[in-house]
Chains A and B, each alone.
Chain A
Amino acid sequence: GQNIDQPTEMTATEGAIVQINCTYQTSGFNGLFWYQQHAGEAPTFLSYNVLDGLEEKGRFSSFLSRSKGYSYLLLKELQMKDSASYLCAVRDISGGYNKLIFGAGTRLAVHP
């Protein structure tokens, strides 16, 4: 089967660092995405990992361990505008088609 787990809610302080974890089980794994979604808006792409290791993009970094079925999104120098939901999504190619399977999302609240 397919399963993606991430914490429901997190809180953090402006200027701090926060790590959002995602664990997954899927039969046809071929990459992992992180999306950001502000309340009432569409998800927007943050990062993509297909190989093990860390991908850094400005204040945001994403890590993947395929052997452990684990990823995390690291947000540094938190700003109030980072308050949003963060969606972990696995690209699955089982059945011959590429699909994205999303976790339920982690709602991050950044406070002063």
Chain B
Amino acid sequence: GENVEQHPSTLSVQEGDSAVIKCTYSDSASNYFPWYKQELGKRPQLIIDIRSNVGEKKDQRIAVTLNKTAKHFSLHITETQPEDSAVYFCAASWGAGGTSYGKLTFGQGTILTVHP
């Protein structure tokens, strides 16, 4: 099955700095890579996702890059703000149909703290 490794486990930055979180995946068949932000006791919220036919995607201060050859993808947050502080999870899934369709495998999570 798929295995997703996420680093770092904790990340502390000053407000206005950039933050980068990296994930690697094992199954070359995975083709969908979402990133979730989760605040304590709340549901994971999708912040950005990327599919395997795209190398990079950007949404305002958030961007994701995908390297299919190396099987890794990264989340980039620029101009960080204190409200960006949360746990971030990467995930990977295989969308080709069958019983494994859409199953998400999550990384271990990164606790991001943005200091004012």
A complexed with B: no
Give the interface of A toward B (CB within 8 A).
Answer: none
Give the interface of B toward A (CB within 8 A).
Answer: none
